[in-house]
Structure 1
Amino acid sequence: MSEISTSTLVAEEKKTSASSSFLSPLVIICMLFFIFGFVTWANGTLIPFFKLSFGLTNAQAFLVTFSSYMAYFFLALPSSWILKKIGFKNGIIVGLLILGLGSLMFIPAAQTRTFGLFLTGIFVQGAALALLQTASNPYLTIIGPIESAAKRISFAGICNKTAGITVPFIMGSIFLKNAETVEKKIEAATGLEKEQLLNEVLSRVNTPYIVLAVLFCLFAVLIKYTNLPEVQVEEDVVDDASGEVIKHKSIFQFPHLFLGAFCIFVYVAAEVMAGDIIGVYGKALGISADIAKYFTALTLSGMLIGYILGIVAIPKYISQQKALRICAILGIIFSVLAYVTSGYTSVIFIALLGLANSLMWPAIFPLGINHLGKFTKTGSAIMIMGIAGGAIWPLFYAFLEDHLHLNFQLAYFIAIIPCYLYILYFAVSGHKVGLKHKYN
């Protein structure tokens, strides 16, 4: 009896130790995801802000998201190499310092009224986020069981989207204060008066981005003195069903990884279409810009609800694969309903795409890097490259609307529906391609 009690106690101690071992890193990563969300979703506010300040077309304004998300494409693989050289913790510190540098670039951009310099600063921020995301996402996946990875990523996602919800109220109230009145004044003004108005509007970025730069640097110092252990992945892949060790010599022996990377591509495209573009969409429906600037918060609130449901349900009641299928189907349904309705009703269905999108990243990422073994870091970088979908797809939507002169709702529908159809394919069968171990 005492032997049983002792062994049970040891097992419980191991379980408690394992749980606590990733609790502290989880908190740190969640704080990082809050930063990711704040910086990324601030771009949604910058789009109408730059349209106001520089008189841009939709295609020109969407260069904001293009500059940010293309940085992931170019910097994800170099980020993987950097992490191998300097380690996870130092990689986060470097990423935060680069993020601060990108934020400070907004100051001279505002003073010189140079849109290209703003885009450069946004690209530098994106480069920093590529490094931080390449480190953080696989870390969340491998610090615990793969089956519950979506739950851990959902915790981080709550922090990410909470930041995104606050952005329109903080940045929107600063950048887009009295937007309609200011827009009319700029249109009516000429000469020196117009120059002064534009300088005044652009100067609104100074204080917020100086504060952000300082906070990023302070957080880097905090990370320096925080215990954040490195997590080693297995060198070889072990098949779950047979226990057989599988030798792989190349990353190209994992077709499910590349299908997953493309799934991230279309997912981020859909997320940006639902989150960053909803304000432009609402304005096209005739809704006031002073109201439309808060629509991104509606989309992110939907995502927040979805994350909470994911934390409760995965994997206890539903697998992350099945959750992905449900989310893809909801995305298709809401996209159709947004197209066939108008006004605030259509906007509500666009916002509900946030609910549909919520569990996609948490499910796609672990499925994409599952069973990669020693290729996990490189595979994670390839998955992160898929974030470039957020750069390309808004421009595709703008092309349909501005150059093919399609109705904006039809253009939106044509742009977004293929994304959800592919995500549904990946959820049903794409994530199993090339793997000996099959999922339900």
Structure 2
Amino acid sequence: MTTQTLDKKSTYISIGIIGMMFFIFGFVSWVNAILIPYFKIACELTNFQSYLVAFAFYISYLVMSMPSSYLLKRVGYKKGIVVGFWIMALGALLFVPAAFGRTYLIFLLGLFTLGAGLAVLQTVANLYITLIGDKERAAQRISIMGICNKGAGILAPLVFSWAILRPSDNELFKAIPLMDDILRASVLDDLIMRVVVPYSVMAAVLFLIGLFVRFSPLPEIENPEGAEASAGRDSLFQFPHLVLGAIAIFLHVGTQVIAIDTIISYADSMGVTLLEAKSFPSYTLSATIVGYFLGILLIPRVLSQKRMLQICSLLGLFFAVMVCVMNQNVGWMGYDVNVSIWFLVFIGLPNALIWAGIWPLALDGLGKYAKQGSALLIMGLCGNAILPMIYGAVADKVNEQLAYWVLVPCFLYIAFYAFYGHKVTSWKKV
């Protein structure tokens, strides 16, 4: 059975299984929003060093996406999904020896391994959900997957903070810099050991999900377009709209992770404690879910997925500028903070439909190169690794708010792709 021969019932079952995968992607990925400030305290890190969490996790997409496409070609998509989940389980298990030695490098290796497994899974899942139905409704299906992903992202920081944080931690965190070396080392060792149980449970769950997928009815993928769709081209890089789309993905995911993974540290710069700020990533993800619902309702009934991408790129640009220039404190939702942090939250709204808009435009007309094209787009997820590092370096040199200027050129490029770049058929026209 293939994606082209599925009946309605099988299609819904398959979408449900892929939706479950996107939920797992979200939960594992957005836990980083808590890990970054937590490791910063427990491993005594700078801003730049703490964002190595995101770097180690997402740089694996750059390293593993193309190898994963060859793995999937060799073992098939279904077995490849199983392998991906089991690689992730191994990555979660590496947190156990890392915690016992309070060794940041092993934590980073565990995060890299988790990301490597996700690179395999994302290559399958995003291609699958793009190809399974009508091309003009691809953004709508991706929006549904996004709700699964970001719904898990809302839960992940809250569940993980519940598992590792204690009500008395505010006072403890303030006291740590005042302790002598021996006591501080002992306290930090106790703090880092709190991650052992959550990540052990995560490893077991990921292993079992791999078994479930192995025996599920999920079909293999076959290319729906003939070779004629890519006639006359013998390389991925002869599709400018694909390459430009991969750059757009790189910049888009970077803006998404910056908006979510840095917001707790930004709140901390305003005097909001970790325990009080732990909900901010969930606010951003909630705005993203609102965006996904709008996509489901409006695409393609009211707006085409291309028009929605254009609108969202401009809206993201506006919010990014507001984050950088607004400096007035407001009281809202129990916080008295600089209003710029709420514009950072609002970036989640347009970001919801940027990913969904880029994918179908970038994969259009690839024919037999669709699988490798999907892998190239997944490589763009390394933007999650690189852009937060740039943000962290600028934040250490200047301050957290001014560092958000890195978002502005990202949204400018995405707007370029939305209005012009996706139509480019020759490098001479760029």
Q: Against the structure 1 CA distance between its residues 310 and 16, is the aligned structure 2 distance closer, same or farther, given a 3 Å change threshold?
A: farther
1:53-202, aligned counterparts within 5 Å? Answer: 53-177=42-166, 178-202=168-192
**Residue in 2 that maps onto 1:356:** 350
Q: Which residue number corresponds to residue 330 of structure 2?
A: none
For residue 383 of structure 1, the aligned residue among 377, 380, 393 is 377
State the alpha-carbon separation in 2 of the partners of residues 300 and 88 from structure 1: 29
Q: 1:407 and 2:399 equivalent? A: yes
RMSD: 1.7
After TM superposition, the score normalised by the length of structure 1 is 0.91
Cα distance in 2, alignment partners of residues 130 and 315 from structure 1: 29
Aligned ranges for residues 8-407 of structure 1 at < 5 Å? 18-177=7-166, 178-234=168-224, 236=226, 246-342=231-327, 343-402=337-396, 405-407=397-399
TM-score (norm 2): 0.93
How far apart, in 1, do the equivalents of 2:46 and 2:181 lie? 22
- Compute the displacement of 1:238 (Å): 5.7
**What is the alpha-carbon distance in structure 2 between the residues aligned to residue 433 and residue 66 of structure 1?**
31
Find the counterpart in structure 1 of residue 411 from structure 2: 420
Q: Which deviates more from structure 2 when the two are superposed, residues 328-337 or residues 286-295?
A: 286-295
Question: What are structure 1's unaligned runs of at least 5 residues?
Answer: 1-14, 240-244, 436-440
CA gap 1:315/1:110 in 2 versus in 1, 3 angstroms: same
Match of 1:11 in 2: none
Match of 1:359, SS? Answer: helix
Q: Is the 8 A contact 1:260 1:368 kept in 2?
A: yes
CA distance in 1, matches of 2:303, 2:369: 28
Question: Is the contact made by 1:268 and 1:389 (CA closer than 8 Å) also made in structure 2?
Answer: yes
Residues paired across the two proteins, number: 413
CA distance change for structure 1 residues 235 and 158 in 2, over 3 Å: closer, same or farther? closer
Residue 251 of structure 1 aligns with an amino acid whose one-letter code is L
Amino acid at match of 1:116: L
After superposition, the C-alpha distances for 1:80-101 in whole angstroms (9 at most, x for unaligned) are 0000001111011000011111
Structure 2 counterpart SS, 1:260: helix
CA contact (8 A) 2:361 2:422 kept: yes
Who wins on radius of gyration, i.e. which is larger? 1
Residue in structure 2 matched with residue 9 of structure 1 by the alignment? none
CA–CA separation in structure 2 for the residues paired with 1:171 and 1:367: 36
Q: 1:433 aligns with which of 421, 424, 428?
A: 424
| Cα distance change on mapping 1:191 and 1:398 into 2, 3 Å | closer
- CA positional deviation for 1:409: 1.4
Secondary structure of the equivalent of 1:286? Answer: coil
**Which whole-Å CA distance do the structure 2 matches of 1:195 and 1:288 have between them?**
22
Give 2:334's aligned residue: none
How many angstroms apart in 1 are the aligned matches of 2:417 and 2:209?
37
Which one-letter code corresponds to 1:338 in the other structure? V
